[in-house]
Amino acid sequence: MASSYSFDVVSDVDMQEVDNAVNQAKKEISQRYDFKGSPVEIILNDEDIKLTAENEFKLDAVRDVLRGKFAKRGLSVRALDFGKVENASLGSARQVAKIVKGLSKEKAKDIVKEIKDSKIKVQTQIMDNQLRVTGKDKDDLQAVIQLLKGKDFGIDLQFTNYR
């Protein structure tokens, strides 16, 4: 029997599912009547998605379609961090949505502070873009998981490597 147990808190996105969601959004937009003859682009890069549409109104519709496809694929809409809308050439509008992967240092510090304030007897350790929580009692770890699920940190959290 182990003397201590641990799990990792991560914020991860399945890029294959992101690719599938983007492709489904492209397909729906190509078939929708309100987008006929309208130049609309959705380009997936490694770390972001570039949206371009004829005007800001159509850009909002493209964004809504993309969010809907993310939700249908089981991806968190919080994984998308939409930047500000920019005016492009010929009156078109564009926007970049960053794909949020991993915990930032600030978010990790917020989570650590929340765990310490709860007075649950566990240790936390920030490791690159994840957070390791270690404790002697499995019940304490379960309590930490429930605590974090009940709080809103603005990102989607997953709990992995439960040992």
Cβ count within 10 A of residue 63: 20
CA distance 12 to 73: 15
Q: What is the pLDDT of residue 154?
A: 82
Q: What is the pLDDT of residue 2?
A: 54
Provide CATH code, domain 15-99: 3.30.70.990
Extents of the domains making up the chain: 5-12+102-160, 15-99
Rg, C-alpha atoms of the chain:
20
Q: What is the pLDDT of residue 101?
A: 86
Q: What is the pLDDT of residue 49?
A: 94
Tell whether domain 5-12+102-160 is in CATH 3.30.70.860. Answer: yes
Bridge partners (DSSP) of residue 58 are none
**Look-up of token digits 């404790």:** 135
Instruction: Tell which residue, 27, 41, 23, has the closest CA to residue 95.
Output: 41
Q: Whole-number mean pLDDT of the chain?
A: 89
CA distance 127 to 150: 23
CA distance 17 to 79: 12
Q: What is the pLDDT of residue 157?
A: 85
User: Which two tokens mark 92?
Assistant: 């078109």
pTM: 0.81
In CATH terms, are 5-12+102-160 and 15-99 the same topology? yes
pLDDT < 70 positions in the chain: 1-2
Render pLDDT for 102-130 as a digit per residue (tens, 0 to 9).
888 888 888 999 999 988 899 998 888 88
